[in-house]
Amino acid sequence: MSKVIPKTREKENEMVDHVVNVRRVTKVTKGGKRFSFSAFVVSGNQEGQVGCGLGRSREVAAAIAKATNQARKNMVTIPLYGGTIPYPVTGKHGASTVIIRSASKGTGVIAGGAMRSIMGALGVKDVLAKSLGSANRQNVVKATLNALAKLRSAEHLARLRNTTVNDMVGKKHATTE
């Protein structure tokens, strides 16, 4: 007898999770020190959706589970062009600034650790990225998401301008086959 997997489980299995960092946090009370853990996770489906989440708990596994659930609730859709992004963008969060540029096929993901985890979860295969300013992993991830949120697809831009993609790009004659 075969086991039927519900569709919700199939969709959940497609998700890719990257633990960006886990920190031990200490709260000093009258009776002593109380330790807990803070986990920051990036989740994505490798098809243009990505999100980040922060979870806190007395145990590492519980903190990661909470962060993963929050990241999956906070997913945003990013327009991709082939295996890269449509055009260069810059994002900023706190003292962190990131610059992300599209790259030709075969370049690979050239990015720092925190940005690399987002690109992997997003499904980007070729990209050039540079992190400037603060190297705080949470701020770098949020700056990267800020930059990616500025991206718009050609169809979306054409719809905003009340024109077609071919007119917007400047193609005079459509190819006929």
147, amino acid identity: A
Q: Where are the domains of the chain?
A: 7-76, 80-154
Model confidence pLDDT, tens digit, residues 27-72:
999 999 999 999 999 999 999 999 999 999 999 999 999 999 999 9
Residue among 95, 153, 85 at smallest CA distance from 118: 85
CATH architecture assigned to 7-76: 2-Layer Sandwich (3.30)
Specify whether the CB–CB gap between 144 and 120 falls below 8 A: no
Domain 80-154 part of CATH 3.30.230.10: yes
Distances (CA, A) of 101 to 84, 114, 119, 126, 167: 9, 16, 12, 9, 25
Global pTM reads 0.83
Model confidence pLDDT, tens digit, residues 87-104:
999 999 999 999 999 999
